[in-house]
Amino acid sequence: MPELPEVEVTRLGIQPHLEGRKVSAVQVIDGRLRWPVPSILNKILPGQKVISIKRRGKYLLFEMETGYLLLHLGMTGTLRVLPSSEPLKIHDRVIFVFGKISLRLHDPRKFGAVLWHPKSKGPIESYPLLLKLGVEPFLTEFSGEHGADILYQHSRGRSIAVKQFLLAGQAVVGVGNIYCSESLFEAGIHPAKAAGKLTRSQCSRLAAAVRLILKRAIEAGGSSLKDFVNSEGDPGHFMVQTKVYDRKDQACKVCKTPIKQIVQGQRSSYFCPQCQKR
């Protein structure tokens, strides 16, 4: 999916069009996403205003008057604001109509999610899927040495590879498969190193690398993703150049050593065997 930067770019793109607007209709074209799209949505949402659009990890949280709409883009989801008259496209799954404009969830692989959490069930932070998430990389809690502390504390006693540890999002959220390889390269850490063996200074470098890589990707307006389009339907202003991801056998941009690919937890990892140490 879109990793955190793509979700954030999407949020920034749709927010000015939708905040304060009232839902007029919800059309579920195909509700068989990761979980069934709640069928009550088209009964309760019409007439409700979007109070705010926030993000937690890779989830978009729409605060409505009586509850929260949670959207997740899965691997292939995109959200766009379009004129309501725009013809349906294949793989459009759910449409939120706001009068003359609509928000469309397009998701070929259907790994995305549309969920509803009524305010009567408590604060959105208590929603089960959000409970186990790690800290937000751009909050003070993860800034400077706080970030290093979090990575260090969470990784103690863990035998899992640092690649999978970071990807799991239990310490810090938002790092997906691409930016995980990029962050480990930036920090000079081998992806197969046991998380529990990370030194304090490696944690410090890794925390800084995660912030840098994610920030840079957001500023680039999008992404390294081949088929990512932002909420305007653009592929992003600049493509982020990856240093290791999807560069198997190509020369490391720092030392010219061929980049290696390995599989960890059923996902590809890319690294420079010279620049990244165990």
Q: Which residues bind DNA (CB under 7 A)?
A: 1-3, 6, 32, 34, 57-58, 72, 74-76, 90-91, 108-111, 129, 132, 157-161, 164, 167, 169, 176-178, 195-196, 223, 225-228, 265-268
* Residue whose structure tokens are 């949670």: 70
Tokens of 112: 């995305």
Among 51, 40, 53, 103, smallest CA distance to 77 is for 103
Q: CB 168 → DNA: shortest distance, Å?
A: 7
CA distance 225 to 235: 9
Catalytic residue, from 2, 5, 137, 191: name it: 2
Which residues lie closer than 8 Å to 221 by C-beta, 6 or more apart?
9, 230, 236, 237, 238
Residue among 6 and 186 whose Cβ is closer to DNA: 6
Among 33, 31, 28, smallest CA distance to 43 is for 28
Q: Which helix (H) or strand (E) holds 187?
A: helix 177-187
Catalytic residue, from 55, 56, 58, 260: name it: 58
Task: State yes or no: is 3 an active-site residue.
Answer: yes
Q: CB 204 → DNA: shortest distance, Å?
A: 21
Q: CB 196 → DNA: shortest distance, Å?
A: 7
Alpha carbon 58 to its chain's center: 4
Return the SS3 of 221. coil
Q: CB 22 → DNA: shortest distance, Å?
A: 29
Q: CB 56 → DNA: shortest distance, Å?
A: 10
Residue among 224 and 276 whose Cβ is closer to DNA: 224
Task: State yes or no: is 232 an active-site residue.
Answer: no
Which residues lie closer than 8 Å to 101 by C-beta, 6 or more apart?
17, 21, 81, 82, 83, 84
CA distance 59 to 204: 26
Residue among 49 and 91 whose Cβ is closer to DNA: 91
Residue among 111 and 138 whose Cβ is closer to DNA: 111
DSSP of 107-159, one letter per residue?
Answer: -TT---EEEEEEGGG--GGGSHHHHT--B-TTSGGGSHHHHHHHHHHHHTT--
Tokens of 143: 């800034």
Q: CB 141 → DNA: shortest distance, Å?
A: 19
Task: State yes or no: is 186 an active-site residue.
Answer: no
CA distance 226 to 219: 17
Positions annotated as catalytic residues are 2-3, 58, 267
